[in-house]
């Protein structure tokens, strides 16, 4: 009996490994394939550890003396080889992000980063994060929680501010936009490795909630986030941040909204009642976003995404109101004044097609006067950077260097008299 149980456990482990390398994208398989591949690819060493422990325990019960147990051992060894290949993709991710940023900014971009920021970014992450991937507290970071940024939805118009415990003044600011298919998610759940890394090294990071569908209808989500930018302009100096320098990042639905924030600065359609507030951002870093709601080039594996958008998010038929769908799609909003972009996507993403990211980057590069970097990560699933892993560490460092370069350019421009304007007369907006 022990031999057969071991064989079953080995086959289950091997299925997880197989799915990490060859995810399924069918309508009924995309979500389970995501969960299995996500947790396996980013926690490959943890999987090896539990499989090794299971092997030892079953061996003590005599499982390996029987044919079924020997077959289970062979399957387990094959699974370990596959998991080792997943580990190799972690290491390649650092080179991919570094090459993407270097190609966009130039081979000497690090020399243009301010010396003090270079020194802070060179500090290694805290020890033990790869062993304890869900350890998100940081003794060097203070979190001010549940600050109201707009009047309206009581539970959704709240944000958190992360800033260095040692204090800071005039620090660069990052706004993080959570994902969750525009219907779920919370400001305290995502991008914690990135925000803690930056906040411990002199940045001020803001994570904002926004109204959720199906109760909310696009562009409610974007309006809320622009209100959050307005709040930052007016109030972030109290936490040591520079209201003139705000970057934005987010994943999945947050990646879509990040791109929209970067491409719709000052658009009065999305700033009702605060049309004159500067809602521009200095840079945008969308992770695994959705960029073409109309799916003009048929990148989606099935029509489930468009049906979901039609009924839950936009609440309009694309044939009846195609202009609404275009206005809500970042790929149709690209223009020469787009801020610097770093677009990041996993090659194994089963929820947001990587081909759409490639098309968005190509469209943006064709018109933007600012750098556009693109990092496509082999072996990475959707939401790969939500917790600590070696891949997450590589990506966090690459994003941090990209943002530090943008900040250095901003500081140099301001010193030369080309600072950006802000409207600091807003504290809480009626949204």
Contacts of 219 (CB under 8 A, 6+ apart): 269, 270, 328
Q: Is residue 382 among the annotated active site residues?
A: yes
Q: Degrees (nearest 5) of the Cα angle 44, 46, 49?
A: 115
- Distance CA(269)–CA(267), nearest Å, equals 5
Q: What is the largest CA-CA distance in the chain?
A: 78
Provide the token pair at 217.
Answer: 């209808």
Q: How many CA atoms lie within 13 A of 257 on its CB side?
A: 32
Please count the other Cβ atoms lying within 10 Å of the Cβ belonging to residue 21: 16
Cα separation of 302 and 26, whole Å? 7
Which residue out of 252, 329, 389, 400 is catalytically annotated? 252
Residue owning tokens 């926004």: 210
State both tokens at 74. Answer: 């062979």
Distance CA(96)–CA(279), nearest Å, equals: 31
Q: Which of 349, 368, 400, 407 is catalytic?
A: 349
Closest C-alpha to 399, from 107, 114, 100: 100
Q: Which one of 256, 382, 388, 394 is the catalytic residue?
A: 382
**Distance in angstroms (rounded) separating the CA atoms of residues 377 and 396:** 13
What are the percentages of helix, strand and coil residues in the chain, rounded to 5?
A: 45, 15, 40
Strand blocks (E) in 178-240: 204-208
252 among known catalytic residues: yes
CA angle, corner 424, sides to 428 and 172, nearest 5? Answer: 100
Q: Which long-range contacts (CB under 8 A, 24 or more apart) does 34-38 make?
A: 34/350, 34/351, 34/381, 34/382, 34/383, 37/348, 37/350, 37/381, 38/381, 38/382, 38/383, 38/384
Alpha-carbon gap, residue 173 to 242, rounded angstroms: 7
Q: Which residues are catalytic?
A: 252, 349, 382
């Amino acid at each position: 009996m022990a031999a057969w149980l071991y064989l079953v456990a080995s086959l289950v482990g091997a299925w997880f490994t197989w799915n990490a390398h060859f995810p399924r994208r069918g309508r009924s398989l995309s979500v389970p394939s995501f969960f299995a591949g996500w947790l396996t690819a980013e926690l490959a060493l943890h999987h090896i550890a539990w499989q090794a422990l299971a092997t030892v325990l079953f061996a003590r019960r005599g499982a390996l003396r029987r044919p079924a147990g020997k077959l289970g051992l062979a399957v387990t060894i094959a699974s370990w080889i596959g998991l080792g290949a997943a580990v190799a993709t972690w290491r390649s991710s650092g080179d991919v992000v570094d090459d993407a940023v270097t190609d966009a900014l130039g081979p000497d971009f690090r020399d243009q980063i301010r010396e003090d920021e270079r020194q802070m970014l060179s500090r290694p992450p805290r020890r033990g994060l790869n062993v304890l991937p869900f350890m998100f507290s940081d003794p060097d970071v203070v979190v001010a929680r549940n600050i109201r940024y707009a009047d309206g939805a009581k539970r959704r118009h709240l944000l958190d501010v992360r800033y260095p415990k040692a204090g800071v003044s005039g620090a660069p600011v990052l706004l993080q936009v959570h994902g969750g298919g525009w219907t779920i998610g919370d400001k305290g759940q995502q991008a914690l490795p990135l925000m803690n890394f930056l906040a411990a090294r002199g940045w001020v990071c803001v994570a904002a909630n926004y109204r959720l569908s199906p109760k909310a209808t696009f562009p409610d989500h974007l309006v809320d986030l622009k209100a959050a930018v307005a709040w930052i302009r007016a109030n972030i100096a109290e936490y040591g941040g520079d209201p003139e320098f705000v970057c934005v990042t987010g994943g999945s639905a947050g990646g879509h909204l990040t791109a929209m924030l970067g491409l719709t600065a000052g658009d009065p359609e999305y700033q009702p009642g605060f049309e004159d507030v500067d809602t521009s951002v200095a840079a945008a870093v969308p992770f695994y976003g959705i960029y073409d709601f109309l799916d003009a080039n048929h990148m989606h594996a099935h029509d489930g995404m468009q049906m979901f958008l039609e009924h839950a998010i936009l609440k309009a038929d694309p044939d009846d109101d195609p202009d609404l769908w275009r206005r809500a799609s970042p790929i149709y909003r690209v223009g020469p004044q787009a801020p610097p972009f770093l677009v990041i996507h996993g090659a194994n993403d089963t929820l947001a097609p990587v081909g759409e990211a490639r098309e968005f980057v190509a469209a943006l590069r064709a018109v933007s006067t600012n750098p556009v970097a693109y990092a496509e990560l082999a072996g990475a699933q959707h939401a790969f950077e939500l917790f600590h892993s070696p891949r997450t560490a590589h990506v966090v460092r690459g994003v941090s260097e990209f943002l530090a370069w943008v900040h250095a350019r901003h500081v140099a421009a301001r010193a030369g008299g080309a600072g950006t304007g802000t409207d600091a007369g807003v504290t809480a907006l009626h949204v």
